[in-house]
Amino acid sequence: MEKVKIIDTSGNEEVVELVTYLISEDNLKQYIVYSKGELKGTADDQVIYISRLYKTDEGFKLEEISDNNEWHSIQLMLKKIANAN
Amino acid sequence: MDRQNIVKDLKVVSFDIIYSEVKDILGNEKVFSNGELGDIFNKLQKTINSIDNLLGTLTEKDDYDKVIDKAEVEGEKSSVSEEIPINYNELVNVNEDIYTKDEEDNNTVVESDIEQDEEVYSGEESLKENSSAKLENGSTVETKDKDFDEEKVKSNVDSENYNLEKFVRLTNNRVKAIIVNSTQLRKLRESLERQKQLLDFGPEDVNSKSNEPIASIESLLEQASNLYKEGKIEESEKLYDQIRNMNKDS
């Protein structure tokens, strides 16, 4: 289980589990998928978070997804991996 | 001996005492002064008071036993009745927690049109504070439960955390979230290494990956130049074509 650190705009740090990365089909967009270990419901369901990932000279940056089409395509990417046989 | 017999005996004894006192006085001096009469009345009064006290004590003791018994019974009842509200409060608190979580979780679920059969739901983050508290609580419990040297553990955790890859959020916008089941999470976790390789940049080999093509192009250019100098023009041109294609790809 790989851990990474998420730092918000106020400088607050939070250690989370790096679940995986997602890459768009055109290879132009990358996303990070992480978990805070939050269980939901009774069947060990967990909440995972997804952010757009950028690599800059200063390191990795995260941007939140606001576009619904983009979010929809991310869900398809997630399903492709999570529901693979 | 029951209570009635005790009272009867006490009355007999007290009567004897009073009678002997009066008899002594009457026997020694047949003329009573006011003071002597006062003393006799005082003694009588004291004796009566003593009897009353004895009787009262007996009555009180009887009542006291009953009170104790009653108190014990009531105590048992009250301890039970106190437990009920405590447990009830705990239950209420737990329920409130669950309710709060559910409430917040309900807020997170914003996209209800996700296919249920695929068992993937989606939502937006609103549990940030709760979740960070969970993490903090979890680590605290872990260090205490294992009875480790807290300072050592803390320094280890600090150093581990220090070396972690950092991701800086550019905005304070809500993070998109989605709920997955354990199987889906496992598959996503398993895909991590493969996905890392697919990334144009990997956390570990960002520099090496980005520098590799440049290094190889430079060496090929040098090689092509040498071939050209050696008169091997065809081979040199092939190599230049290869370099051009590499430049296009990168």
DSSP per-residue codes, A24-49:
-TTS--EEEEEEEEEEETTTTEEEEE
**Helix B233-249 and helix B206-229, axial crossing angle in degrees, nearest 10:** 160
pLDDT of residue A51: 95
User: Span B61-73, mean pLDDT?
Assistant: 37
Residue of A nearest to B195 (CA): A21
Residue of B nearest to A63 (CA): B170
Region for residue A21 given its phi and psi (left: phi exceeds 0; alpha: psi -120 to 50; beta: otherwise): beta
Contact A55 B131 (CB under 8 A): no
pTM above 0.80, yes or no: no
Query: In B164-213, at which residue ranges do the beta strands (DSSP E only) sit?
Result: 165-169, 176-180
Query: Contact A21/B199 with Cβ under 8 angstroms?
Result: yes
The answer, yes or no, to whether residue B137 has pLDDT greater than 70, is no
The answer, yes or no, to whether residue B189 has pLDDT greater than 90, is yes
Interface with B, mutate which of A25, A45, A80 (most B CBs under 10 A): A45
Contacting residues of B for A63, CB less than 8 Å apart:
169-171
Q: What span, in angstroms and rounded, lies between the C-alpha atoms of B66 and B81? A: 21
* CA atoms lying within 13 Å on the CB side of residue A82: 26
Q: What span, in angstroms and rounded, lies between the C-alpha atoms of A65 and A29? A: 11
Q: How many residues does chain A have?
A: 85
Question: Looking at this protein, which amino acid is placed at residue B197?
Answer: Q
> Per-residue confidence at B140, pLDDT binned at 50, 70, 90?
very low
Contact A51 B177 (CB under 8 A): no
Contacting residues of A for B105, CB less than 8 Å apart:
40
The DSSP 8-state label assigned to residue B201 in this structure reads S
pLDDT tens per residue, range A7-30: 998 899 999 999 999 999 888 889
Percent of chain B beyond pLDDT 70?
40
Query: Contact B225/B239 with Cβ under 8 angstroms?
Result: no
Contacting residues of B for A23, CB less than 8 Å apart:
195, 198-199
The answer, yes or no, to whether residue B22 has pLDDT greater than 60, is yes
Please tell me whether residue A21 adopts helix, strand or coil conformation.
strand
H/E segment holding residue A59 = strand A59-63
Q: What span, in angstroms and rounded, lies between the C-alpha atoms of A49 and B233? A: 56
Q: What span, in angstroms and rounded, lies between the C-alpha atoms of A36 and B128? A: 9
Contact A50 B179 (CB under 8 A): no
